[in-house]
Amino acid sequence: MKNNLFENFNLQPFLQEAVKDLGFHEPTEIQKKMIPIILKGQSAIGQSQTGTGKTHAYLLPIIEKVDPSVEQVQAVITAPTRELAQQIYQEIGKLTEKTAITSRVFIGGTDKQRTIDKLKVQPHIVVGTPGRINDLVKEQALFVHTAAMLVVDEADLMLDMGFIEDVDQIAAKMPEKLQILVFSATIPEKLKPFLKKYMENPQYAHVEPQQISARNIEHIIIPRKSREKVNVLYEVLTNLNPYLAIVFTNTKSKADEVADRLLEKGLKVGRIHGDLSPRERKKMMKQIRGLEYQYIVATDLAARGIDIEGISHIINFEIPQDLDFYIHRSGRTARAGNSGIAFTIYEPSDEDALNKLEKIGISFSHRDIRKGEWIELPERNKRKNRQKSENDIDAKAKTMVRKPKKVKPGYKKKMKYKMDQIKKKERRRKSRNSK
């Protein structure tokens, strides 16, 4: 076995060199599981969260299998957002720059006719959003019938955004013996008919979310109490002075509302959500990458479909309704071995969601901020535990004090006295053990 575990995949020398140049040493878990399967030509489903290295889990074996001497499309990679498609395309560029392998990215918001004119020579690898790729296939400008490999990245997000039909139409134009690679954080029921239609006995690789969240992410919860939530958020943001913080809301309208309120308070705030036009989104991403903003308010589009470097803090203004998205959101920070902090401003109605997150292994610190000072608070569920403990003591006392067979006047009083004595003794014992 060689020291650099990427070498164990026996990739071509140019790929091994590119991997070293990117600073990768040991493959991530999803890469260890998926790369051998893909190299064998098998269809596969990779279930893993954001930030686990899944892009290179399919790019490395796909590029390994491309034959640059054959001038036709050999692999099609679909992504739900323009930004994600661009990022995948850029990664392909880094891996193939010293080769004759060609790739092209096709996304909406670009000149379609100009794209068609440039397709006189077909690229080896196609990346893009399903709608634009499907358009070019229908126009008979892009020939996908020659491609033996199809990637569906962020498949559950693809489903949410209504793109699975386009992916279906692209797949229908491809060879019958098609190697399909589906990557998704979750496998919703509505995705299963698509998988069943195109994938016969696929291989399956799963990386558990608990392994991802957070060895190096600190999770902090802050009670809203009777304060206005935006005021709590403002105090948190201005106190942190982050390198880059993303504030997550559950809806586009709430994102706009929060961003507008923070602007009124004098903060320079960017925003990312699905209602921005392609031009606005492109401009916003350029400004974010140019470090023009310290604060961004976003919907879950930024948790999954967009990769932004250098995020030091995540703030959940609202806990997501789908708790998987809590993992996606917090996974935006602490990338590539760095550390990060995820804050959540919570209300009494969030108790159930917080309990569920704790059950999957997330450990929260409980803090508050008052006049710019951070204060450690008792455990959120301490009162509940105290109540539960009290109930345990009551139950124990009741089992130890039985009703006499022959009752005399005043027996209830005597029973109560005995139970009180047992309870006092039990409380003292518990108090000593907890010290």
Domain ranges of the chain: 5-207, 211-376, 395-434
Mean pLDDT score, 336-345: 80
DSSP H/E element including 218: strand 217-223
Q: What is the pLDDT of residue 391?
A: 58
Q: What is the pLDDT of residue 413?
A: 77
pLDDT over 70 (residue 431)? no
> Among 15-19, 146-150, 263-267, 329-333, which is the least confidently predicted range?
329-333
Percent of the chain with pLDDT over 70: 87
The pLDDT tens digits of the residues spanning 274-299 come to 788 878 888 888 898 888 999 999 98
Question: With contact defined as beta carbons under 8 Å apart, do 35 and 9 qualify?
Answer: yes
> Among 258-272, 309-323, 416-430, which is the least confidently predicted range?
416-430
Q: What is the pLDDT of residue 387?
A: 46
Q: What is the pLDDT of residue 273?
A: 84
Percent of the chain with pLDDT over 90: 44
pLDDT over 80 (residue 320)? yes
Determine the CATH number of domain 5-207.
Answer: 3.40.50.300
pLDDT over 90 (residue 331)? no
Measured between alpha carbons, how far is residue 373 from residues 224, 238, 265 in Å? 16, 12, 20
Q: What is the pLDDT of residue 319?
A: 93
Residue 211 pLDDT grade (very low, low, confident, very high; cuts 50, 70, 90):
very low
Locate tokens 């508050």: which residue? 368
The CA distance from 172 to 152, in Å, is 14
Residue 434 pLDDT grade (very low, low, confident, very high; cuts 50, 70, 90):
low
Question: With contact defined as beta carbons under 8 Å apart, do 186 and 156 qualify?
Answer: yes
The CA distance from 400 to 418, in Å, is 9
Structure tokens, 66: 């491309």
pLDDT over 50 (residue 212)? no
> Among 11-25, 40-54, 79-93, 382-396, which is the least confidently predicted range?
382-396
pLDDT over 60 (residue 175)? yes
The CA distance from 330 to 217, in Å, is 8
pLDDT over 90 (residue 3)? no
Higher pLDDT, 266 or 110: 266
Structure tokens, 197: 């239609």
Higher pLDDT, 120 or 414: 120
The pLDDT tens digits of the residues spanning 409-430 come to 777 777 788 778 887 787 777 6
> Among 327-331, 352-356, 393-397, which is the least confidently predicted range?
393-397
Question: With contact defined as beta carbons under 8 Å apart, do 364 and 219 qualify?
Answer: yes
Mean pLDDT score, 331-338: 69
Structure tokens, 122: 């077909």
Mean pLDDT score, 111-136: 92
The pLDDT tens digits of the residues spanning 138-166 come to 999 999 999 999 999 988 888 878 898 99
Fold agreement (5-207, 211-376): yes
Locate tokens 């196609």: which residue? 126
The pLDDT tens digits of the residues spanning 344-362 come to 999 999 998 898 888 877 8
Mean pLDDT score, 286-314: 83
Q: What is the pLDDT of residue 433?
A: 56
Helices (H), 8-81: 13-21, 29-39, 54-65
Q: What is the pLDDT of residue 77?
A: 98
Mutual angle of helices 130-138 and 164-172, in 10-degree steps: 40
pLDDT over 90 (residue 227)? yes
Q: What is the pLDDT of residue 11?
A: 92
The CA distance from 73 to 146, in Å, is 6
Higher pLDDT, 58 or 323: 58
Structure tokens, 227: 């304060």
pLDDT over 60 (residue 101)? yes
Query: Whats the size of the chain, residue-wise?
Result: 435
Homologous superfamily, domain 211-376: P-loop containing nucleotide triphosphate hydrolases (3.40.50.300)
Q: What is the pLDDT of residue 1?
A: 41
User: In the β-sheet with 203-206, what is the strand arrangement from edge to edge?
Assistant: 103-106, 125-128, 75-78, 149-152, 179-184, 44-47, 203-206
The answer, as to whether pTM is greater than 0.75, is no
Locate tokens 């403990």: which residue? 389
Structure tokens, 175: 């060879």
The pLDDT tens digits of the residues spanning 246-261 come to 999 988 899 999 999 9
User: In the β-sheet with 217-223, what is the strand arrangement from edge to edge?
Assistant: 269-272, 295-298, 245-248, 313-316, 340-346, 217-223, 364-370, 373-376
Q: What is the pLDDT of residue 352?
A: 86
